[in-house]
Amino acid sequence: MYVSNCKLVDLPKIHDFRGNLTFVQPDDVIQFDIARVYYLYDVPSGATRGGHGHKNLQQLIIALSGSFNVVLNDGTDTQVFQLNRPNVGLYVCPMIWRELDNFSSGAVCLSIVSLSYDESDYYRDFDEYLQAMRELRNG
Ligand code: TYD
């Protein structure tokens, strides 16, 4: 529920003379079952993606190519992660507002998520999100 619950995770990297291979499977790397995968690419320079929170969705974000920043906010704390390695993922727990920016040319952002696409799981309005977080914090 809080930025402090979000963290970078090292993914396995199998290296040999043919190149590197990384895989993600639900075990000790991610604790959720994978329901969907989507990816952002051809992001124009200066564009911002995200700009929303999720009620229940958990997510692992990976820079498959290039780099970008992920800004996480829980209404109190903000943390910026730069992702630039295909064998490092950023786990994002539910109820976190996220924005992605500073995309390099050719960046590909892979998202591995716990739920099918469902617009009712989104907070698209920051004030509505902040109000929900206040209610959560106040029990
Ligand atoms: P949006 O949530 O704005 O993307 P981002 O978080 O990367 O900024 O989604 C853009 C559009 O794509 C929006 O109309 C919803 C749609 N969409 C789907 O239909 N399925 C999906 O799995 C996702 C992630 C988005």
Model-wide pTM > 0.95: yes
The protein residue whose alpha carbon is closest to atom 22 in ligand 1 is 117
pLDDT digits (tens, 9 = 90+) for 8-66: 999 999 999 999 999 999 887 899 999 999 999 999 999 999 999 999 999 999 999 99
The protein residue whose alpha carbon is closest to atom 13 in ligand 1 is 119
pLDDT of residue 69: 98
pLDDT of residue 29: 84
Burial grade of 38 (CB within 10 A; 0-12, 13-18, 19 or more): exposed
Note if 52 is an active site residue. yes
Catalytic option among 52, 79, 101, 130: 52
The position carrying tokens 């075990």 is 27
Token pair recorded at residue 5: 């619950």
Q: Other CB atoms closer than 10 Å to residue 1's CB: what's the count? A: 12
The protein residue whose alpha carbon is closest to atom 6 in ligand 1 is 50
Q: Which atom of ligand 1 is nearest to the CA of 119?
A: 15
Q: Which atom of ligand 1 is nearest to the CA of 111?
A: 24
50 bridge partner residues = 99
pLDDT digits (tens, 9 = 90+) for 97-121: 999 999 999 999 999 999 999 999 9
